[in-house]
Amino acid sequence: MEFPSSTFLKSSSPSSINGQFIDSLCESDGVSKLKIPEVKFTKLFINGQFVDSVSGKTFGTRDPRTGDVVAEVAEGDKEDVDIAVKAAREAFDHGKWPRMSGFDRGRVILKFADLIEQHGEEIAMLDSIDSGKLVNLTKAFDIQFATNCLRYYAGAADKIHGETLKCTGEFQAYTLKEPVGVVGHIIPWNFPTVLFAAKAAPTLATGCTMIFKPAEQSPLSALYLAYLAKEAGIPDGVINVITGYGPTAGAAISSHMDVDAVSFTGSTEVGKLVMGAAAASNLKTVSLELGGKCPLVIFNDVDINMAVQTAWQAVFFNKGEVCIAGSRIYVQEGIYDEFLKKVTDNVKNWVVGDPFDPQVHQGPQVDKEQFDKVLRYIESGKREGATLLTGGKAIGEKGYYIEPTIFTDVKEDMLIAQDEIFGPVMSIMKFKTIEEAIEKANNTKYGLAAGILTNDLNTANRVSRSIRAGGIWVNCYLITESSIPFGGYKMSGFGMDSGLQALEKYLKVKSVITPIYNSPWL
Amino acid sequence: MSAAARRIASSISCPSISTVLRSSSSFTLGGRIAGVSSGIQRLSTAAAALEEPITPPVQVNYTKLLINGQFVDSASGKTFPTLDPRTAEVIAHVAEGDAEDVDRAVAAARKAFDEGPWPKMSAYERSRILYRFADLIEKHNDEIAALETWDNGKPYEQAALGEIPMFARLFRYYAGWADKIHGMIVPADTPHHVQVLHEPIGVAGQIIPWNFPLLMFAWKVGPALACGNSVVLKTAEQTPLSALVVAKLLHEAGLPDGVLNVVSGYGPTAGAAIASHMDVDKLAFTGSTATGKIVQEMAARSNLKPVTLELGGKSPMIIMDDADIDKAVELAHFALFFNQGQCCCAGSRTFVHERIYDEFVEKAKARVLKRVVGDPFKKGVEQGPQIDEEQFNKILHFIKSGIEGGATLVAGGERHGDRGYFIKPTIFSDVKDGMEIAKHEIFGPVQSILKFSDLNEVIKRSNASQYGLAAGVFTQNLDTANTLMRALRVGTIWINSFDIFDAAIPFGGYKMSGYGREKGIDSLKNYLQIKSVVTHLKNPAWL
């Protein structure tokens, strides 16, 4: 059986400027016209000011299309985190932010959302240049998500309700929901703006202050967003951004004695370190959004074309750099062969190339490390005996492009079925019965999300309850909205982002009890 | 805003004013009192001599019915005059809606609900429209406030600094709810999956009063729209103007045609047509208890539409003997006289502990004599005219009954000036529970001060009323506050405060003050249907 291969496109945008790009597909005049957006902010953002790091050190953030440095960014370390925490502490303990009414905070957050919308194009380009994300999709999805999310929590800021309680004795008791204090947010590089907003919005709504550490691969949008936050009227010290590395800046936040909560999104491995540091320091509240190895279970009774499209997006969206990627595709035997054929057919419609090109579907992986790791997993898949249907190779000589890759005959114990690859690699497995599907789907240390494609109501309901994961998509996949709580079971972490539940991460519950006399009711 | 205006604003203390004053102390006031009396004193005038009424800085642009996004004449072609309560002169002739117009409005609302796009839009889009509407209100704040004052007689500063900003604030509150209306998944004893959906109820009929025309608009229209319903609104015949202006702005903000229809007209005709309409799915009414009974009956006799009612009150304001008398006097004064006493929750029974009674009465008298009555467009005026001749006469009748019934007239007791519907702020002391003025809702600037001697007594007397809308409690003693808080059978208790009306605080009555709650999360329930969806489960992993 012969399978078509996907198209590789490295084009240029007419408005692009300088930059070198050597490639066989490069412009005929030999000069690349790769678009590189202007980078305005490269310093740490502390207490409302852009400042150099204490050490004066910087690090290069790279363009994954070429591996070239786009900008030198201040490298924050422990000393910088200390200064940022102090600013956040002051802003929380004595500043006006937690003392403003929820409604007034909401108005500021709405303004912040408007500014992001206004500067959406610029922010999207920063995420693209940093992470290799499709610029159009980033505008359409990431920026939209961020503004919607901020508006959602703006409206929630004046709806944080405690409760009055029933007591057995003659007591009047109620709960107060108080902001937890200074929050550390450590966010990854796959959705830099989305995750900044998803963390910042509920934190702002509750009246907390925060320190962000964006990923070292994608520091630019966070700095831009912090600038817009200030423009919107968020007081100095409420949002601080320390760009830098995990083992230095990230660790300093997780183990800081004056940070009240840490919220981390990233790998399970690092999640363990963050939680350990929190435990070893001040027992700060921890919430973790970690890895996933999400099953997409496709039953015989579905429309095969819908199934192929859904599975394709589930795996290849954002180059597979998605914690909820449907990286284990379970297909029921009745449609297995047809599914394989159609899914591989789909490769020819898939264009890999410059993420600034509107025709492109898949940009480069974020960096050399991820690129190498994905290729290693592909090799391991081959070595362990899976059948490589298509793809499997790097594309071009520069940058971190990988072909959309599909394996079949994948066994449960293979590394590619067990580990989070975080790349454009689909693993397809066959199953017979619903019981088998459930068992296999749950055969993972992760529990972030799952997809079910079926039109049978009983199957949908049964599998929904049986898979131990924080999100279940039935006849759809990757649907994330501000109102829908998002988070993991098992080693995918704990604590929910999004939804009203996300507010709980940044709130402490205080019970107040006082005696009452001669109450007409209890 | 000048410092003087700011002080006046605080003195009338519409709670929302505190939120509009973006001064350093923007959290203050509401019903908490701070340095008010000095400001009043400075601005008080000898009053009495009525000058020529100030020309309102606004024009009347909309006088027709708003049906299906269009301003239209009534089917009959009839109009009615809306009057300036300062002078009893006609402001404008307004289209008079009747049953036929209500039919048209309901048909438009029905179509807008059944066919969309409003309920089919994402809640996020609905919220964006409501947010845009609030922005437009803010932009037109002063002209809307002027119209409100012209039609209603309330002090312009109260409208411009308090009520219109509060109106925008309420719509922002409901905008925020639109995408957070969550049903539940509830457990079942047997293998069943149970979803509870909160669906919009359909076409809401809403009848609002004249004392806070726009705030009542916001309390009703806000939650109805946030939940995805369509609305037929009947404004009070005394105050039809402001609703038409804001409804126009709501369409400008993106509200689809037919979602909000405004029918001006009278209760027995237009109001009755809404209440008894077979195609109206829900009825919300704010007004008198007598009319509340009528609309509920109409709902029962027609299609059993669910009803919520915000009705009258005779709210106690209880001043304990440990209270700071000066502050208590000011708060009790505000609780009663705010908005010319035309508040359903006015603290119209001021219960004062016997140990401080005489001193309280003296100080209440001193305060009331300083109250500035006059043209509501004039800076510093605290009290404008009553709404219309009927109310004016009713209040004077109650004052007469108070005098004849043996209460001591401490101050006021007659009309103010000889034009329009102004009444002097009036105080009675030695009021007994059985007197008419202690039992009935006067809805005017008449404070009745009653004496009590112990806590149990005041609880009993406070609860001895057909009403149960609100109560005020003034004490520093925590146990007293806690005891009263639970013992009083009313929907809102203000402790060391009064008339705090934040968007998030539910408001509504016990007993014959009605049922259902407006504002807060509870208000959404008035405009939602609850649907339980039960699906049988095959081999569920857990129950």
CA dist B383 and B416 (Å) reads: 11
**Which phi and psi angles does B408 have, rounded to 5°?**
-90, 120
B177 Cβ under 8 Å from any chain A Cβ: yes
Structure tokens at B371: 């109250």
Distance, CA of A155 to chain centre: 23
CA dist A203 and B225 (Å) reads: 28
| pLDDT of B47 | 45
Residue A45 belongs to what H/E stretch?
strand A44-46
CB burial of B217-241 (b: ≥16 within 10 Å; e: otherwise) equals bbbbbbbbbbbbbbbbbbbbbbbbb
Say what the alpha-carbon torsion angle A503, A504, A505, A511 is, to the nearest 10 degrees.
Answer: 130
- Residue A360 DSSP class: -
CA dist A130 and A137 (Å) reads: 15
| pLDDT of A277 | 97
Crossing angle for the helix pair B123-139 and B141-152, to the nearest 10 degrees:
80
* Partner residues linked to A60 by β-bridges: A72
User: Is A79 one of the annotated active-site residues of the chain?
Assistant: no
Strands A328-332 vs A425-431: parallel, antiparallel or unpaired: parallel
Interface test with A, best of B27, B510, B519, B538 (most A CBs within 10 A): B538
Least confident of A64-68, A259-263, B41-45: B41-45
Query: Does A462 contact B504 at a Cβ distance shorter than 8 Å?
Result: no
- Residue A4 pLDDT more than 50? no
pTM: 0.89
The 10s digit of each residue's pLDDT in A418-449 is 999 999 999 999 999 999 999 999 999 999 99
Which chain A residue lies closest to B536 (C-alpha atoms)? A458
Which chain B residue lies closest to A103 (C-alpha atoms)? B173
Residue of A323, A403, A420, A504 marked active site: A323
At which residue do the structure tokens 């008398």 appear?
Answer: B325
| pLDDT of A5 | 55
| pLDDT of A33 | 67
Query: Does B486 contact A520 at a Cβ distance shorter than 8 Å?
Result: yes
At which residue do the structure tokens 């008080």 appear?
Answer: B44
| pLDDT of B121 | 95
At which residue do the structure tokens 């027709």 appear?
Answer: B64
DSSP B36-68: -HHHHHHH-----S--PPPPPS------SEEET
CA dist B244 and B168 (Å) reads: 16
DSSP A457-486: HHHHHHHHHHS-SSEEEES------TTS-B
CA dist B523 and B507 (Å) reads: 9
A479 Cβ under 8 Å from any chain B Cβ: no
Structure tokens at B395: 């209040």
Short-list B504, B503, B482, CA closest to B493: B482
Which chain B residue lies closest to A438 (C-alpha atoms)? B541
CA dist B508 and B492 (Å) reads: 7
CA dist A224 and A232 (Å) reads: 12
- Per DSSP, the three-state class of B478 is helix
CA dist A433 and A452 (Å) reads: 14
- Which chain B residues touch A515 with a CB distance below 8 Å? 479, 482
Give me the interface pTM, i.e. the ipTM: 0.85
B325 Cβ under 8 Å from any chain A Cβ: no
CA distance B489 to chain A (A): 10
- Residue A97 pLDDT more than 80? yes
- Calculate the alpha carbon distances from A319 to A127, A168, A518, B62 in Å: 14, 57, 67, 57
Going by C-beta distance under 8 Å and a sequence separation of 6 or more, which residues neighbour residue A30?
Answer: none
Residue A155 belongs to what H/E stretch?
helix A144-156
Structure tokens at A388: 């490589």
Task: Point out the residue among B124, B479, B503 whose CB comes nearest to the CB of A158.
Answer: B503
Find out whether A349 and A378 touch, Cβ atoms under 8 Å: no
- Residue A25 pLDDT more than 60? no
B493 Cβ under 8 Å from any chain A Cβ: no
A159 Cβ under 8 Å from any chain B Cβ: yes
CA dist B500 and B28 (Å) reads: 12
CA dist B434 and B511 (Å) reads: 19
CA dist B310 and B510 (Å) reads: 10
User: Is A269 one of the annotated active-site residues of the chain?
Assistant: no
Query: Does B176 contact A154 at a Cβ distance shorter than 8 Å?
Result: yes
B175 Cβ under 8 Å from any chain A Cβ: yes
Find out whether A489 and A447 touch, Cβ atoms under 8 Å: yes
Which chain A residue lies closest to B25 (C-alpha atoms)? A100
The pLDDT-based confidence of A168 (bands split at 50, 70, 90) is confident
Percentage of chain A beyond pLDDT 70 is 94
Q: How many CB pairs under 8 A join A and B?
A: 94
Find out whether B311 and B297 touch, Cβ atoms under 8 Å: no
Least confident of A381-390, A395-404, B34-43, B335-344: B34-43
CA dist A201 and A106 (Å) reads: 10
CA dist A362 and A128 (Å) reads: 11
Q: What is the pLDDT along chain B (543 residues), one digit of tens a residue?
A: 333 333 333 333 333 333 333 333 333 333 333 333 333 333 444 444 457 899 999 999 999 999 999 999 999 999 999 999 999 999 999 999 999 999 999 999 999 999 999 999 999 999 999 999 999 999 999 999 999 999 999 999 999 999 999 999 999 999 999 999 999 999 888 999 999 999 999 999 999 999 999 999 999 999 999 999 999 999 999 999 999 999 999 999 999 999 999 999 999 999 999 999 999 999 999 999 999 999 999 999 999 999 999 999 999 999 999 999 999 999 999 999 999 999 999 999 999 999 999 999 999 999 999 999 999 999 999 999 999 999 999 999 999 999 999 999 999 999 999 999 999 999 999 999 999 999 999 999 999 999 999 999 999 999 999 999 999 999 999 999 999 999 999 999 999 999 999 999 999 999 999 999 999 999 999 999 999 999 999 889 888
| pLDDT of A483 | 94
Task: Point out the residue among B27, B180, B182 whose CB comes nearest to the CB of A155.
Answer: B180
* Partner residues linked to A49 by β-bridges: A46
CA dist A88 and A94 (Å) reads: 10
- Calculate the alpha carbon distances from B493 to A49, A222, B505, B532 in Å: 46, 46, 11, 35
**Which phi and psi angles does A51 have, rounded to 5°?**
-135, 155
| pLDDT of A35 | 84
- Which chain B residues touch A520 with a CB distance below 8 Å? 486-487
Distance, CA of B519 to chain centre: 11
Going by C-beta distance under 8 Å and a sequence separation of 6 or more, which residues neighbour residue A279?
Answer: none
The pLDDT-based confidence of A517 (bands split at 50, 70, 90) is confident
| pLDDT of B51 | 73
What is the CB neighbour count within 10 angstroms for residue B86?
24
CA dist B497 and A249 (Å) reads: 49
Short-list A76, A69, A325, A318, CA closest to A217: A69
| pLDDT of A494 | 95
Task: Point out the residue among B131, B173, B535 whose CB comes nearest to the CB of A158.
Answer: B173
CA dist B407 and A111 (Å) reads: 56
CA dist A105 and A101 (Å) reads: 6
B187 Cβ under 8 Å from any chain A Cβ: no
Task: Point out the residue among A154, A159, A519 whose CB comes nearest to the CB of B486.
Answer: A519
Short-list A427, A355, A444, A442, CA closest to A391: A427
Which chain B residue lies closest to A144 (C-alpha atoms)? B124
Query: Does A483 contact B180 at a Cβ distance shorter than 8 Å?
Result: yes
DSSP A260-315: -EEEEES-HHHHHHHHHHHHHTT--EEEEE-----EEEE-TTS-HHHHHHHHHHHH
| pLDDT of B185 | 92
Residue B389 belongs to what H/E stretch?
helix B389-404
The 10s digit of each residue's pLDDT in A276-287 is 999 999 999 999
CA dist A124 and A116 (Å) reads: 10
